Amino acid sequence: MHNNCMESTREEMLMKIREYNFSIIELALYLDTHPDDKKAICMHKEYCKTVKELEDKYQKVYGPLTIKYPCNKWRWLEEPWPWEKEAN
């Protein structure tokens, strides 16, 4: 059961990262047509800072999300691939 709690936390962290990344892209698209919207600019900056913190926290615990994350080990090779998870 402890492992399920860990996986749930991991999945929750990934979902939060995805949500913030989606919001960042949507705000950037909005700012393309509304470049003077100070509230949207502030939200975009805040979300960028938050997603960076979330990604750093996730990667310290679970390993790299992308090839850009510096690490000494390619930890994703230790994890099941997405299609392997579904089979288990």
- Taking only the tens place, the pLDDT of each residue in 53-76 is 999 999 888 877 877 766 655 666
What integer pLDDT is reported at residue 84 of this predicted model? 75
Q: Are 69 and 59 in contact (CB under 8 A)?
A: yes
The segments of the chain whose pLDDT lies below 70 read 1-8, 69-79, 81-82, 85-88
Number of H helices, E strands in the chain: 3, 0
What integer pLDDT is reported at residue 17 of this predicted model? 96
DSSP code at position 72: S
What integer pLDDT is reported at residue 2 of this predicted model? 45
What pTM did the predictor assign? 0.71
